[in-house]
Chain A
Amino acid sequence: MSNNKTPEQLNRRKFLKVAGAASAAAGGLGIGLWSVESGKDPMSHTGEESFQGATQYFNRTKFEVDLPPYEKIGPTRRVDARTEVIFSRIGRLRQEWDDENGIDGLSDDLKAYYEKHPHYLKSDLEYFREVLPKWREDRQKYQDKYVLTHAWNNAMGSVWPPGIPDSEPPEIADFPWTAPGQLARKYKMKSPEKTAELIKQMAYQFGSTLVGITKLNPDWVYKHTMRNRGIDVNKPLDVPEHWEYAIVVGTPMSWDPFYANPTYGSSRESYAKTRIAAYRLAAFIKELGYAARPHTPAGDYDLMVVPIAIDAGLAEQGRHGVLVTPEMGSNIRPAVVTTNIPVKTDKPISFGVEDFCRTCKICADQCPTGAISTEDKVEVRGYRRWQIDISKCHNFWYSNLGNVGCRLCLTSCPYSRKSNWLHRGAMKVSANDPTGLSHGILTDLQQRFYPAPDAEKYFIPSMGGSNASYRKPPHWLQVDEYIDFSGGAK
Chain B
Amino acid sequence: MTIITSGLFWFILGILFCIALVGFKIWMEDRGVKMVWWKWGLTVIWIAFAGFAIAFAGVSIGENEMTAAGMGGLIFGIAVIVSGFIFWRLLHLGKA
Tell me what chain B mostly uses at the interface: helix, strand, loop, or mixed. helix
Which of these, B18, B64, B65, contacts A449 with CB under 8 Å? B65
On chain A, the residues within 8 Å of B26 by CB distance are 12
On chain B, the residues within 8 Å of A12 by CB distance are 26
Q: Are B1 and A44 in contact (CB under 8 A)?
A: yes
Given contacts A12-B26, A34-B6, A34-B8, contact A449 B67 (CB under 8 A): yes
Q: Does A420 contact B (CB under 8 A)?
A: yes
Q: Are A34 and B7 in contact (CB under 8 A)?
A: yes
By the criterion of a CB under 8 Å from any partner CB, how many residues of chain A are at the interface?
A: 27
| Max chain B C-beta neighbours (<10 A), residue from A12, A23, A421, A471 | A23
Q: Which single residue of chain B is at the shortest CB-CB distance from A26?
A: B14
On chain A, the residues within 8 Å of B68 by CB distance are 449-450
List 19 A-B pairs, Cβ < 8 Å.
A15-B22, A19-B22, A23-B14, A23-B19, A26-B18, A30-B10, A30-B14, A34-B7, A37-B7, A38-B6, A43-B1, A418-B63, A420-B63, A421-B55, A422-B60, A448-B71, A449-B65, A449-B67, A449-B68
A44 to B1, CA, bound (A): 7
* Chain B nearest CB, measured from A418 CB (Å): 6
Q: Are A27 and B7 in contact (CB under 8 A)?
A: no
Q: Does A451 contact B (CB under 8 A)?
A: yes
Q: Are A421 and B18 in contact (CB under 8 A)?
A: no
A96 to B59, CA, bound (A): 55
On chain B, the residues within 8 Å of A151 by CB distance are none
On chain B, the residues within 8 Å of A112 by CB distance are none
On chain B, the residues within 8 Å of A448 by CB distance are 71
* Chain B nearest CB, measured from A407 CB (Å): 19
Q: Does A33 contact B (CB under 8 A)?
A: yes
Instruction: Give the number of residue pairs across the A-B interface with Cβ within 8 Å.
Output: 58
A37 to B68, CA, bound (A): 32
On chain B, the residues within 8 Å of A418 by CB distance are 63
Residues of chain B whose beta carbon lies under 8 Å from any beta carbon of chain A? 1, 6-8, 10-11, 14-15, 18-19, 21-22, 25-26, 55-56, 59-60, 63-65, 67-68, 71-72
Q: Are B56 and A450 in contact (CB under 8 A)?
A: no
Given contacts A23-B18, A421-B59, A422-B56, contact A30 B67 (CB under 8 A): no
Tell me what chain A mostly uses at the interface: helix, strand, loop, or mixed. helix
Given contacts A23-B19, A34-B8, A34-B10, contact A450 B65 (CB under 8 A): yes
A37 to B5, CA, bound (A): 13
Q: Are B11 and A450 in contact (CB under 8 A)?
A: no
Beyond A16-B22, A449-B72, A450-B68, list 4 extra A-B contacts (CB 8 Å): A12-B26, A19-B21, A34-B8, A449-B60
On chain A, the residues within 8 Å of B11 by CB distance are 27, 30-31, 34
Q: Does A184 contact B (CB under 8 A)?
A: no
* Chain B nearest CB, measured from A83 CB (Å): 43
Interface residues of A in 440-469 (CB under 8 A from B): 448-451
| Max chain A C-beta neighbours (<10 A), residue from B15, B21, B22, B71 | B22
On chain A, the residues within 8 Å of B19 by CB distance are 23
* Chain B nearest CB, measured from A333 CB (Å): 23
Q: Are A451 and B8 in contact (CB under 8 A)?
A: no
A420 to B62, CA, bound (A): 11
Q: Which single residue of chain B is at the shortest CB-CB distance from A472?
A: B64
A228 to B57, CA, bound (A): 53
A143 to B78, CA, bound (A): 47
On chain B, the residues within 8 Å of A450 by CB distance are 65, 67-68
Q: Are B67 and A19 in contact (CB under 8 A)?
A: no
On chain A, the residues within 8 Å of B25 by CB distance are 15
Which of these, A19, A23, A38, A43, contacts B7 with CB under 8 Å? A38
A15 to B23, CA, bound (A): 11
| B-contact 0/1 string along A1-32, CB 8 Å cutoff | 00000000000100110010011001100110
* Chain B nearest CB, measured from A296 CB (Å): 32
A44 to B21, CA, bound (A): 34
On chain A, the residues within 8 Å of B55 by CB distance are 421-422
